[in-house]
A and B are shown apart, each in its own frame.
Chain A
């Protein structure tokens, strides 16, 4: 029985791989549900703060926030890249990074310098490897996004915008459409456009306490942070569903490979038996 032991070992090893991918699939499935819940939980805040920001941008305020003012000449562009910390999630990060690199290339040909801020290990590693100007990063966010851990990274970019180091700020992440479909998107964060905020229902001016400037400053900062937080939450939901699908197909593939290998193994076994029988019959015929 030539090679039958090797085939048996191979079957065993593929079976083990299948067990792992199956387990990862189930883990991803349960994490995906939680990630989706978190994504939905962050929506009310985003909606409310957008409403307030819309009101403020339309209300006649003596103070106009720099985030709302469009700059005529755009020389430097900032980009926040949101990726996953871990791999094995299909084309999620690759597709997102492809979109950002293409956009960065376009900016470069237009003579704009690009500064990158990376959230997530995969994007950070990639940007660093290929030599992008990474100004800040945060990795190891875990499964639950916490706004607290994102503040520093976002603030670096916001400060750069306020100081005039960058004139526009973009964000690139993977939008969650449904379990089977995720899509990389690129959005402009700063300056905030009027269309983004939408027009408010009703019209009134506020009483500001203590003064307009600090209140508006704080509000605008929170607004941008909430947008980034939302993007991170959505990216995490995308990551888990993408991983679930990738691991499911890996398990299916392993199953198929096992089937093929078993067929080969049985054929080899049968061939060996047939050979033995014909040898015995041949020997008996020679004696008789």
Chain B
């Protein structure tokens, strides 16, 4: 086996790439980084951009576009934790505010504090219905 390092590219929604690489170039937030096997352990954030992977048994470079995330280098293992969405502080903030506002609006349309008695009553009613149906099913079989 040649001098290679294992690389995994994963996102929260799917596993994107896994293989042995001779050389990897990643768009780190502080500038592009090139990683050869036996690199020192490192963690860095990455910007949206192209990840270039030189595979062990292939002269061509594999290109993977990622919209940011994290890069971790362990001895003998590179992990790229890719984001599935374009992220940014302002973008995240806007989403948080939208989620908050929607909840506030919904809150205004109702009364009083948390009523546990009511909650329990509603739940037991629903549960009783389900149990009744199940009993009915058992009896008829």
Chain A residues near B (Cβ < 8 Å): 38, 41-42, 44-46, 48-49, 51-52, 55-56, 90-91, 94-95, 97-98, 101, 104-105, 108, 114, 118, 124, 126, 128-138, 145-148, 151-153, 155-156, 159, 202, 204-210, 214-215, 218-219, 222, 225-226, 229, 249, 252-253, 256
Contacts and interface: CB of A to CB of B under 8 A. Distances in A.
B84 A146 contact: yes
Contact of B43 (A42, A118, A208, A249): A208
Interface string B58-90: 000000000001101011000101011101000
B115 interface: yes
Given A147-B84, A155-B96, A209-B30, A215 B45 contact: yes
Contact of A151 (B28, B75, B81, B95): B95
A152 B45 CA distance: 21
Nearest to B106: A128
Contacts of A135: 100, 103
B86 to A, nearest CB: 9
Interface in B107-134: 107, 110-116, 118-120, 122-123, 126-127, 130, 133
B127 A215 contact: no
B10 A45 contact: yes
The majority secondary structure among interface residues of chain A is helix
Contacts of B113: 131
Interface residues of B, number: 60
Interface in B12-59: 12-15, 28-30, 33, 40-45
25 contacts: A44-B10, A48-B8, A51-B79, A52-B43, A90-B130, A101-B119, A104-B114, A130-B114, A131-B110, A134-B106, A136-B100, A145-B13, A148-B84, A152-B94, A152-B99, A155-B92, A204-B74, A206-B42, A206-B43, A209-B30, A209-B33, A209-B45, A215-B44, A215-B45, A218-B45
Contacts, number: 182
A202 B77 CA distance: 13
Given A94-B126, A101-B119, A132-B114, A152 B95 contact: yes
B4 interface: no
B102 A52 contact: no
Nearest to A205: B41
Given A210-B30, A252-B137, A147 B120 contact: no
A197 to B, nearest CB: 15
Contacts of B83: 222
Q: Considering the complex of A and B, which 5 residue pairs feature the smallest CB-CB distances, nearest first?
A: A152-B95, A152-B99, A209-B44, A148-B85, A130-B119
Given A101-B123, A215-B70, 18 more contacts: A42-B12, A44-B8, A51-B79, A104-B116, A108-B116, A131-B114, A131-B115, A131-B118, A134-B106, A136-B100, A136-B102, A148-B84, A152-B98, A156-B96, A207-B42, A215-B44, A249-B137, A253-B140
B123 to A, nearest CB: 5
A48 B130 contact: no
A118 B99 CA distance: 10
B96 A152 contact: yes
B70 A219 contact: yes
A126 B45 CA distance: 40
Given A48-B8, A131-B111, A204-B75, A41 B14 contact: yes
Contacts of B100: 135-136, 152, 156
- Max count, chain A CB within 10 A of own CB: residue among B33, B42, B45, B127: B45
Most buried by A among B40, B95, B99, B115: B99
Contacts of B13: 38, 41-42, 45, 145-147, 229
